[in-house]
Structure 1
Amino acid sequence: MDKLLRKRILETDEIIKLYLDGKSTTSIAKLANVSPRYIRMLLKENNVEMRPRGSWRRIYTVNEDYFKTWSNNMAYILGFFIADGMVSSNHQMISFSQKEKYILENIRSELDSNHKITKNNSDVYLLNINSKEMKKDLKEIHGVGPNKTSNIKFPYVPKEYMSHFVRGYFDGDGFVKYEKYFISFVGGSKLFMQSLRNVIDEYGFETNFTEHDTYYRVYVSGRKTIKLFSDWMYQNKGLYLRRKYEAFQKETLPLDQLKDRGIKVHKNAIKNRKLERKNCD
């Protein structure tokens, strides 16, 4: 093994990129000055899904410039990715994850991609996109990089696309309990979640904000309020999770008969408001 490592002339990331771009292990081995067997072993050690032998000419494609131009669906996918996506720190790859496969299929189609969707041991579907350009754009244009969970800031989103961005984030990290007339968003970055709350407030929807040990929540509550909020969030909808959308369709009364009275505020929100008042005294 040491002998092979000494004479190898390509880095691991370069080898993985060549393989994901469709090169065969034999051709990569020649470029790297090692054996095909060594290339296969290296790929397996780095959890790279192996293609059947003889299929190496299949090349995965994607619209690498997708995140350069705003659209309703781009805003949705950006919000969804911030909630349920991952930027690899070691490879030129971004990854979407979701338990409902069809939404990843829809996102893949929107990205003009033919990358495979796989399933992990936790029954979560993964869409891994190999693209140096996409990874670069997510970081440099939208501020989304590796280890984004606790330190990401709210990106610039044009107002005309804000409802689609919020819907994307909601489909990734949002929850609706229509019988209790509240919805919530969760996230690990305080800066992002505070900005999300401010955005929702700016559109006229009253919110509550709670802090926990490792995450933060933004609540929107009230029977009439969440009806209005869902109408805003799903306006001109393109991509969306059917399960969450259908939860809002349980409302049976017309808007002019809805009221927000009788809604219990989450106990953590009450606790936080008491702390805020105490700090102001």
Structure 2
Amino acid sequence: MGKTPTEFEQQVIDLYLNGIKPYSMARMQKFRGYYPATFDRILQKYGYKKRVPKSLPNSFEQELISFYQLGYSVPQMIKMKQFEGATLSRIYSVLIKHGINRRSNKINSRVHNVYHGFFTKIDTEEKAYWLGFIYADGYITKRGNYVGLALAQRDKSHLEKLVRTLQTDYTIKEYKVTNGYGKGNTFCRLILCSEIMKTDLVSKGVLINKSLKLIFPSFQIVPVELIRHFIRGYFDGDGSLSHYGPNNKNHFTIKICGTYEFLSNLKSCLRDALELGGLGSICKSTNNNKNNYYLTIGGNIQVTAVLNHLYKNATIYLERKYFRYLHFLQIANKDSFN
């Protein structure tokens, strides 16, 4: 025989059978102090499955759900023009109706707006690009839930693109280096606080103190059709295109820095996409035992193939690198590689 529910468990089952959901039970005075998850476990224990919404959300409900999942709180949403006339209770009822979990007061008390779930699933060019850029130039903190990017002042407009993409009111701060490497230079920095974003980035391969342990993402993280955008983001952050011209010849070289494991897989992806037998070489960057290397790709034919693969028809890039690419094409076409 199966287990007999306790008196408390039977009350929960009876309420559920009468149409009361776990979330609503948790708001009852007699169940004060219990969380919805407690009632879910009791129901699952006795074979009661979660109810599936009876209908798909209409356009109003879908927009409401989308804004909530972007990180907006319900009090913020009722002040928006598109939700004019909606009450707190109506919005909460829509969320409950469609099985959307209510966020804690801690999360809802955030001061800043930001698209917290931007990196939850890498399914667009923008997401793949910014993930690659953060692999190169971004960081997450060990303490707190901070995600940061710091660039030279000349690239401030690039951080402004990210601010618009993440729909955030976090501001870019400027600071001057007073000692050590880069002394006297001015940098700009964007720091976001988001537990969701930090967790998503960690799951996508962005690690604390990642420089010497970075691994190239799998196709489960970045789909193969988006991998060139990821590589472009990484190249914009940690790559360079150099130009020299001995004997009246113009020669270009691509250089990308990273760990040996990361660069090996990046090289393989480029070689497979471009159907090239060989592609550059990976070299040790310093005379120490640390895992820091660089990939060099020379020869104008190969450089042309790689740059076209990364930048042709792209919609997001670091302006400075993109103009460098256009300048290369102009010179390369003029010389015709002779």
- For normalisation by structure 2, the TM-score amounts to 0.56
Q: Indicate which of 196, 202, 206 corresponds to 1:133.
A: 196
Q: Is the 8 Å Cα contact of residues 201 and 207 (structure 1) preserved in structure 2?
A: no
Change (3 A) 1:258 1:105: same
Task: Verify: 1:238 aligned to 2:288, yes or no.
Answer: no
Q: Is the 8 Å Cα contact of residues 128 and 226 (structure 2) preserved in structure 1?
A: yes
- Alignment match, 2:229: 164
> Match for 1:232: what amino acid?
H
Which runs of structure 2 are paired with 1:181-196 in the superposition (5 Å)?
Answer: 181-187=252-258, 189-196=259-266
Query: For the residues of structure 2 that align with 1:254 and 1:120, how far apart are their CA atoms?
Result: 39
Change (3 A) 1:114 1:201: same
Query: For the residues of structure 2 that align with 1:253 and 1:244, how far apart are their CA atoms?
Result: 15
Query: For the residues of structure 2 that align with 1:153 and 1:84, how far apart are their CA atoms?
Result: 15
Q: Judge which range, 57-66 or 120-129, deviates more.
A: 57-66
Identity %: 27
Q: Indicate which of 177, 195, 203 corresponds to 2:242.
A: 177
- For normalisation by structure 1, the TM-score amounts to 0.67
- Alignment match, 1:249: 326
Q: Is the 8 Å Cα contact of residues 95 and 126 (structure 1) preserved in structure 2?
A: yes
> Match for 2:269: what amino acid?
V
Query: For the residues of structure 2 that align with 1:236 and 1:68, how far apart are their CA atoms?
Result: 25
Residue 256 of structure 1 deviates from its aligned partner by 11
Task: Verify: 1:152 aligned to 2:204, yes or no.
Answer: no
Which runs of structure 2 are paired with 1:1-281 in the superposition (5 Å)?
Answer: 59-69=111-121, 70-99=123-152, 100-122=155-177, 123-140=186-203, 142-156=204-218, 157-179=222-244, 180-187=251-258, 189-204=259-274, 205=276, 206-213=279-286, 214=290, 215-250=292-327, 251-252=329-330, 258-259=336-337
Flag structure 1 segments of 5+ consecutive residues without an equivalent: 1-56, 262-281
Residue 165 of structure 1 deviates from its aligned partner by 0.6
> Match for 1:203: what amino acid?
A
Q: Is the 8 Å Cα contact of residues 241 and 324 (structure 2) preserved in structure 1?
A: yes
Q: CA RMSD for the aligned pairs?
A: 2.1
Q: Secondary structure at the match of 2:330?
A: coil
Q: Is the 8 Å Cα contact of residues 139 and 206 (structure 2) preserved in structure 1?
A: no
Higher Rg: 2
Change (3 A) 1:102 1:226: same
User: How many residues in Structure 1 have an aligned counterpart in Structure 2?
Assistant: 202
Residue 146 of structure 1 deviates from its aligned partner by 0.8
Query: For the residues of structure 2 that align with 1:115 and 1:166, how far apart are their CA atoms?
Result: 27
- Alignment match, 1:49: none
